[in-house]
Structure formats: C-alpha cells, structure tokens
Amino acid sequence: MKSKIAFLPGDGVGPEVLAEARRVLELCGRLYDRTFEITEGAIGGTAIDRYDSPLPPPTIELCKASQAVLLGAVGDRKYDSLPSAKKPERGLLDLRTLLGNYANLRPVYVFDPLADGSNVRPEVVRGVDLVFVRELLGGVYFGTPRHRDKSRAVDTEVYTADEVRRVARVAFSLAQSRRKKLTSVDKANVLETSILWRETVAEVGRDYPEVALENLYVDNCAMQLILKPKSFDVVVTNNLFGDILSDEAGVLAGSLGMLPSAAIGGFAGLYEPVHGSAPDIAGTSQANPIGAIGSVGMMFEHSFRLPEAAQRVQSAIGRALDKGYRTRDIYSQGAANQKLVTTREMGDVICKLVEQPDA
C-alpha cells in the first residue's frame, strides 16, 4: 500500500529533528511493508524567504494530495516585524485550517527514567500519563474582529456550540478508551465563551455515561497540573488555554522537547512536536528529536492504522532513555549512567531499537 506524506521541516531546529523522524518513518515503512512516498515542502520563515509566503501554493497542493503531514517547527525572531498575516506562524495556522484538523492531541507521558530529572518532585511526576485535547481551529486565534492601531488592539474569542461539540466528542471517546476521566478546562466564571463551552461539553457527555466529567477553571488547572498531575487522564480545552497548558506540562515530561502531537479531524492528519523552532539552539545538534519521533508514532496510529508500529516507536524511545541516552535538555547534572548525545545520535539509537527491540 502506498501513502503520501508531506514533509515540512520549517525553521530553526525543525529540519534537524525532522531528519531523525524521517529515518524512523522510512524504517517502519520497511518493517511493516508500507510504501511511504515522502515529499518535502516549504513552510514558515523558510517559505517566506523562498516564496514570500509562509504557506506557498506548492506546499498547499502537496498537503492536499497527502494522507499525512509531518511538520518540524515554524518561527524566527527575524520575522518579528512582519505583519501577522505574513509571519511564519501564520503558515502553520493556515495549514491547520486547510487540513481541517480541529482536535489536537498532545499526550504528556512521563518516561520513568526522566522522573528524577524533572523540576517537579519525582514522586509527583512518576507515572503521569495524560492527554490534552486542544481545540485547534477556533477561539481567539481566529476570531474576528481583529485589528490594531497605535493605542488600541482587539482580538476576539469566539466559539460556536458545533465547534465545541466536535472536539468534545473526540475527547470523550479518547477518555472512554483510557481511564474514563475527562477534565474540561475553561474560565466560565468570567467568559461567555467558556459558559457555552461548559454547557456544550456537559451535553455531549450524556452520550458517554461511563466517562466521569470534571470542570476546572484554567487558573486552577495550571496549578493542579504541577500539584497533582496524576489526577488527570484526558483534558479538553480551547485553543489558547491548550497552547499554554501544554507547554507547562512539558516540564512534567522533563522537557518540552519530549512532547509529540497529532492534529486530527480533517482530511489528512498533521503531526508535529509541541516544541517550537528554538532558534537559540538551531544548528548546534542539541535539539531533542523525541517529540518529532513520537509524532511519527502518532501518525502510525491515527493516519495509517498501524498501532503496532506506534507501539514499537514508543517502546524504542523508552528503551533509549532506559539505557541512559540524553540530549542536552533532558540531561540531569550529577545523575549517574547518562550519555549525552546529539540529535543525530539519539536518532541512531532509537532507529536501532525500533529495528531490534531487544538490543
């Protein structure tokens, strides 16, 4: 079977981490007898430099013809002065819209060997296994009116019940397949959109009687994530809160570089690490490719119905960490049995462990 994959490295550390993810993708293609036709396209700052647009027409055509999109990262300070409509980030937002991916799954899984290195106490983070379901196509990211002059600026938070309903369904069915607990996060004590959010989520919940639904205000959720992260299973929230809380949760996993993501619901899945372009370390071989490689695992699960391959990638990541391999971001000073490795070396180790799980 042949599947088309759009490969969009983007900016900063994007190309470095995506090169490793690509090797894992090609390797699993061979192992599971699938042909992945991988075609590279430009997005973000790289696309602005080449095509004067953060999501140029050739990339749009490529993504439209693909079953899945693998993306590195977008953004660089050098584009800070461009108007919003021309910034690298706009390319990613437009791509999400183009694909129609309204639900962004962001799992936060704490690999055991990293629990001791977390800035949060080991007994608090050990065993954390939660998933954010972030609404991805609505809210203040896209709401109108939206404008700015010298002394006044406006952004608009808008949600329709339909937008809340469809993402809530994804979250409830995910919770149903896991530990059956769903936390819905809002600011219903202040925001009208949050009142609608809360009511709509409760209404969808009637179709999932086995799932226990809890509501939390976002400020409280931000605190509970650090105090009792193990109390969470699936967390559903709006676009902006999901963006903020998932970076916070990166601390639990040891580094934001650990987190993968999948954006689903549209005609082709979009897979990208949660971390950004990290221009400060771009080109230094220090970036952690695990978030990107984990995103390939999510692609196997959600776009290609290859749960075995997804599991194999996840286990290989776990084994690499068990063996002590660490990129700079997850290296803990003073701890025993660690080997500091480059982006490439981490990719090598994970590929080897995908190929020979018992090595």
The residue annotated as part of the active site, out of 76, 109, 159, 187, is 187
DSSP 173: H
* Size of site (CB under 6 A) for ligand IPM: 8
- Rounded Cα distance between 311 and 317, Å, is 10
> Which option in Mn ion, ligand IPM, none does residue 341 bind, with CB closer than 5 to 8 A by kind?
none
Q: Which is nearer to ligand IPM, 246 or 338 (CB)?
A: 246
Strand partners, 154: 147
Q: Which is nearer to Mn ion, 135 or 243 (CB)?
A: 243
Binding flags for Mn ion, 115-154, as an x/- string (CB under 5 A): ----------------------------------------
Check residue 243 for interaction with ligand IPM (CB under 6 A).
Answer: yes
Which residue spans within the chain are E strands per DSSP? 2-10, 35-40, 68-73, 103-109, 129-135, 147-148, 153-154, 181-186, 212-217, 234-237, 262-264, 269-271, 325-326, 339-340
- Rounded Cα distance between 133 and 139, Å, is 14
- Rounded Cα distance between 70 and 9, Å, is 8
The residue annotated as part of the active site, out of 76, 243, 329, 331, is 243
| Residue 155 annotated to the active site | no
Segment interacting with ligand IPM, rule: CB under 6 A, options 86-94, 124-132, 147-155, 194-202: 86-94
Residues 272-301 that bind ligand IPM (CB under 6 A): 274, 276
Which helix (H) or strand (E) segment holds residue 70: the answer is strand 68-73
Least spacing, CB of residue 247 vs Mn ion, in Å: 6
CB 201 within 8 A of CB 169: no
> Which option in ligand IPM, Mn ion, none does residue 75 bind, with CB closer than 5 to 8 A by kind?
ligand IPM
Check residue 76 for interaction with Mn ion (CB under 5 A).
Answer: no
Report the greatest alpha carbon distance in the chain: 62
Among 243, 272, 301, 329, binds Mn ion (CB under 5 A): 243
| Residue 187 annotated to the active site | yes
- Here the tokens at position 157 are 């938070």
Residues annotated as catalytic are 141, 187, 219, 243, 247
